[in-house]
Each structure stands twice: as C-alpha cells, then as structure tokens.
Amino acid sequence: MKAQAVFPRANRSLSNAGNHALFLFYSSKWGYASVTTTANPDKSADIIVVGSGGAALVAAITAAAKGGRVLLLERSSKFGGTTAYSGGKVWIPNNHHMQSLGIADSIEAAKEYILRITGGEFPHMIDSFLKFGPEMVDFVERITPLRFYACTKFPDYQPQFPGGTTGGRVLDPIPYDASRLGSTLEKIRRSPIFLPFIQTEWEQWRSPVNFDWELIGERVRRNIFTTGAALVAALVQGCLDLGVQMLTGSRVLRLTQEGDRITGVEAEQDGGTIRYQAHRGVIIASGGFEWNRELTRNFLRGPEQGAASPPWNEGDGLLMGAEVGARLANTSEAWWVPVVQIPGEEADGKPLFRTLIAERGLPGSMIVNQRGRRFVNESHNYNDISKLFHVSDPNTLEYPNIPAWFIFDEAFHKKYSVTTIMPGERVPSWVTTAPSPAELAAKLGIDEQGLTETITRFNANAKMGKDPEFQRGDSVYDHYYGDPSAVFNPNLAPLEEGPYYAIPVLPGTMGTKGGLLTDEKGRVLNWRKKVIPGLCAAGNIASFWAGGGYAGPGASIGPAMTFGYVCSLTLMSAEGGSARA
Amino acid sequence: MPEALVQSVVACPIAKVWQFIDQFQNWASLMPGFQSLQQTDSQRSIWTLRSDAGIFQRLVRFEVQTTERHEPNRIIFNMKAMDEQLEGGGSFNTRALDAEKTEITLHLFLEMGGMLRPVGNALLESMLPRDAQTLANSVHRALEERAATETPS
C-alpha cells in the first residue's frame, strides 16, 4: 500500500509550486533530514501518534494545540479506526452539556458508579478520567469543528447502581458536513453498519417504519456524517487545521530506543522501512488485537467469533509495546457484543459482523441456545449479556450458548427491523424460517422440546408483562430499547404468529480492551511498574481500567479520547515523558 | 432513478462490436464487482456481483435477461436482484462512424425499492456513473485487444 500524506489545510489553496514550497517548509519544520544523530532517522517530529481513531486524533490535536510538531501514522488507507465503525457515542460524566441542561451529576456519584462497574482496581485512573474527561470535551469543542449534544434519555448500562444516571452522560456528535474536508473526504473510513441519523432522531422515530428516509438519503447524498464517522471527520479537520501531518499506508511495527527511552518508531511504508524520530515521545493509539486469532485465543476470557471493527486491529501496538518491556493488563477482556454475520457481507475486505443491539430489547423476540433454552435477559446491555456465551458445560466441555439463535415471529417482523431486514419486507434466504417453533428447531438442529417449552412458558409470562426467569423488561435500561407502545411490556410480547424466524448469534467484540498498562498520565509502565520514558498509550491498546465492565454508551470512546488528551498534556509538559513513577 | 450514460468511440468495425456485446459471457466479467455468471438459457443468466456501496457491501445475485436485440445497433437487458429489492437494466447502442470506428453508448440504471430506497438510491447515484465508466473502459479495451490480435500480419 502506498503511503499517502494529507497535508495541513494551509496547502489547499496553493498552486503546485506553492505546495512544493510549503512541502519544503514543512519538511524542514519536521526535520526531514536524510542523516541525523546516531539513530539516523529519516524524519522527525515532537510527538508521533500511532493510529487514527478517537484517542489518536484527540492526542494529535492536543499536542499540536500545545505547539508540538505532530506526525500521525495510520496503517490502513483511511483514517478513523474502530471509532469510525462505531456509534460514536462519548461517555463523559459531569460534562458541561448535561450541566447546562440542569441534569445533576458529580464526580463523586460517577466515581461510585464506576467503582461498582469496574471492581475498582485502578481508582487513580478513574480519578484522572473524571477530572480530564469534561475538560477534554470543552477543549475539542473549542479547537475543532466537533460539536456534541447530550442524550438526556440514554441511560448508563447499569443505571440502578448507586451513582448511575438515566441520561446526560452520553454525548452524541452533531451531524457534520464532511464535504468540508475536500479531497481528504475519501480518506475517512465510514461505518458499514450505521445509517446517518442521530440518537435523538432514533428516539423519536423508533421503528424504520417511521424513519425520515428522505432526510437520511439526503445526508448520504451530501456526505453529512453522524455517529463515529462524524466524530472522525470533525477531528481530522481539526488535525489539518492545526498542522498535524497525517500519513496513511504507514504501519508502525517497532519502537526505537536509546537506553530505556523511546525515541521514535519504525514503520513499514511504500515497500520499505522508514524511521521517524520523536523528540518528546510516542503515543500508541493503534486499537486492539481482536483480529489477531493467536492473540485472542491466548488472552481472551472466552471465544470471540466476530469483531465489529476494522480488520487492521491485529495488536500491532501490543506487540511493539511488549517488545520494549511494557507491562500488559486486562488482556482477558473486551467490549463484548452479540454479533450477526450476513453471508457474503464484507467490509474492508473481511467478513462484516453486525452488532445486535436494538433488536434484542424489542417485544416478540428471544435468544436461545442449542438446547432451545433462554440463558439471559436479552434486553440487558450487550457487554454484560455476552459474557454468558462463555459459560462452559463441565460435563461436555462445550459452550452450550454458542451459537445462540435470535428468534422472532411474524408479528415482530411486520413491525421491527432485524439487521438489514426491514419491517414487513421479504426475509432473505439466509434467515431460517418455519411455520412452527418445533419445525424451526428441527431446521436449526436444536432441541425441539426445549424450544417449544421455552416459547410456551415465555408467552404465558409475557402476556402478564413479566419474565420471572431473567427479569426482562424490569429496568430503565431495558425499556430504552423496547417499544413504548407495546401492550404488555415494552420488552415483552408472546411469539405466536407464524412463520417463525431464526438468525445465528455469535459472541463478538467491538474491540479488545487489554493491553499496555499506563498510569493516570497515560505513561506506559514496565513490568516493575516504572514509567517507560517517552511512551504513552490511549484507547483500546491501553489496558482499560474498566476491567470487564462497560459503564454506559460511549464508555470506550469517552475514556479513549480523554486519555489521548492526557497523553499529549503529559508529553508536551515541561516534565515530558522522562520522569519515573 | 439512478442511471449513467457513457459514450465512447472504439477503433473496431460495428460487426465486431456487435459480436462482442451480443454475448453476455464476453463482457459480464468486466462489470465492477463481478464474481460469477451462470447461464440459464440463451437469453437469461444469473450474475453474482459484489456491491461495495456504503452500508451495502455484500454479494448480490441478479437475474439478467436480454429483452431486445436489434443487430447490429442495440441490445437491451434488464437486471433483477434475487434476494434484494434492486432492479434495473441497461443497453448498448452502437453506431458505425466509418468502416473501422464505432460509437458505443452504454446506459445503466438501477433502483432500490422498499424502505431503504432513498438511502440505496443516494448511494447508487454516485456509484453507477463510476461503475458504468469502468465497464465502458473495460469493454473498449477488450474490443481493441481483440481487434489487435485478429489483425492479419
């Protein structure tokens, strides 16, 4: 893949000669010398950022805003990383948007909630996140075109825990006109899953039957982005405005050192290897390792059979960090989510795995295992229910919940969508269909009696608006993705209208969240828990102090962006990255 | 409805152009995203194409049927997706400019139905002109290569 440079905004209006002159200027600014010092680097910068998702982009913007010369290196042909594939929500307790709306929150309440969710192993990291998160939001909204609004009705994932809230902490990007990026637009990775509407629009429309399809089509036509793509596009614009040099097709594989200090990187680029020197430090924000089968088999707590992320997340950052002695932590965990694979669907050249999020809470559906039994409250948050896929049967040493099956009836199909199957429209042949539950079970090869009994029992309880087995439909979070107009309960309805449908559901991730252990300043620590000078990490490659927990929508991107900000504050400070912990 | 029109001139007699475009097997594989073709009968075939448009990045099977043939000037075909609400077609129109040069006009149109229509059509509006140009260029190249290999030494 040929490396391509995206030059800062100032270049765009110049002639070729002018651009060449500016290239020479920037070349000298960034030290594109052919021979320097004993390391003999080809190029240099104050800060090198590896990756281009939310953490990386905020890190680059922060460092540039503090006066640093910043070089951002992206392995693939497009910017955006996992953030671009995502719903783009950013979870920041006590943010100024919720404050201006009068929604109560506090650092103390948020800390109490996070400690409960995460198990509290890294309280200093939680303190840093809660302190710098709101500051980061203020900063990016001041410095870049990115703007948020607070989702006032989107609850935390366990809102019933002390300190949990039922809305306000989740920030959603306002639609962004990405055509402003000009030729750089083609370098922005877009989600293969999300359509361009925002959360409050979905809250109003609910079913695709009510979507404003003309508005959505117009946004597609005019390159008006929402969700993760909007976040990325606006932050990339911010990078360009601040003079960050950004390269695609540059895969960083190694860190360079002098003594114990990180001095730069080596990147695979244009068929060769190029060394870049970092005068202040390197920030690794290159994403997780969910597409590296060897690493996922070795590290994760259970099977992971599909990743809803770009296939470039193969743990480059993990390997290069480990090579210089970085301590690893939390590597057994991931941002778990049930996924569905539509046969033949691909994104970026690899199978596409779609997340099963909104469908699971809708009435008239359930998820069953090979025995035809439900095993969880399907409406609960995707991270915590996915852990049930990893239950192993000690009698058979197998995982009885893999694969699972998302079952729904014709009444459900007429009203709601499932992945790309629109309400009432033709159900494609990859969905298993049968006139009765018993015949459906026979086609699926699962226990017929089990499924029939499960549906019979579920239906009887659903008509009373209850799920005594798993308490589906009892919580605020469950109701958020339910149907407020449903007769018995927003999340419960009997499955009694044939035909019946089934789609296989797999244990998936939106990314791993274990990796290089950092301190509250984003500095990577070695196995003795001493700072490795000149090295910081943020995002999924940094060991997430969240443990196995997921605090709320955007509780991956929110901390990722926050620690991208913190890393650059650290490296651009007078102390820089040289101090030991 | 999303559509594209591409006109080009190829250094090839009209009879040779007709021979080429009259048989799906000659140019179906030049369609962007082409995966396979299964001939059903002389007028019908099933094409599998890989769609690479935004949120629709998957294999799509089309039933393709010739609906009109007017040798040597026009061939019209329709395309209907077998598992999606996607329907359209196209045509090749040819005009002899002289004994050795032919003007080819390729017309492609495709429309998405159902609820996703506004989104699908917005994507097709940008995709079809690009794909039609690619197909036209490939047909042009194939015809000229054929003409070059058939030229007596």
- As a three-state string, the secondary structure of A22-57 is HHHHHHHHCCCCCCCCCCCCCEEEEEEEECCCHHHH
Are residues B58 and A192, on separate chains, in Cβ contact within 8 Å?
Answer: no
Is the pLDDT at A27 greater than 50? The verdict is: no
User: Closest Cα to residue A43, out of A326, A191, A331, A250?
Assistant: A250
Are the C-beta atoms of A545 and A116 separated by less than 8 Å?
no
- pLDDT tier for residue B153 given thresholds of 50, 70 and 90: low
Are residues B123 and A220, on separate chains, in Cβ contact within 8 Å?
Answer: yes
Name residues whose C-beta falls within 8 Å of residue A387's C-beta, 6 or more positions apart in sequence: A301, A302, A336, A548
Q: Average pLDDT in the A384-398 region?
A: 95
Give the closest-approach CA distance of B36 to chain A in angstroms: 14
The predicted structure's pLDDT at residue A578:
44
Whether the CB of A442 is below 8 Å from some CB of chain B: the reply is no
> CA-based angle A140:A200:A108, to the nearest 5?
55
User: At CB < 8 A and 24+ separation, what contacts does A199-204 make?
Assistant: A199/A89, A199/A151, A199/A154, A199/A170, A199/A172, A200/A149, A200/A151, A200/A172, A203/A151, A203/A153
Is the pLDDT at A299 greater than 50? The verdict is: yes
The predicted structure's pLDDT at residue A472:
98
B38-59, pLDDT tens digit by residue?
A: 998 888 999 999 887 667 777 8
Which value does ipTM take for this structure?
A: 0.86
User: What is the distance between the alpha carbons of residues A169 and A103, in angstroms, rounded to a whole number?
Assistant: 9
Are residues B55 and A193, on separate chains, in Cβ contact within 8 Å?
Answer: yes
Among residues of chain A, what percentage have pLDDT more than 90? Answer: 87
The predicted structure's pLDDT at residue B59:
85
CB atoms within 10 A of CB A406: 23
Is the pLDDT at B37 greater than 90? The verdict is: yes
For the whole model, what pTM was predicted?
A: 0.91
- pLDDT tier for residue A84 given thresholds of 50, 70 and 90: very high
The predicted structure's pLDDT at residue A7:
52
Is the pLDDT at A28 greater than 70? The verdict is: no
Question: For B54, which of A220, A422, A423 is closest by C-beta distance?
Answer: A220
Is the pLDDT at A580 greater than 60? The verdict is: no
- pLDDT tier for residue A564 given thresholds of 50, 70 and 90: very high
More confident residue, A53 or A344: A53
- pLDDT tier for residue B22 given thresholds of 50, 70 and 90: very high
Contacts of B122 in chain A (CB under 8 A): 217-218, 220-221
| Residue A149 backbone dihedrals phi, psi, to 5 degrees | -135, 155
Tokens of A399: 């995982």
The predicted structure's pLDDT at residue B36:
93
Tokens of A131: 């302190």
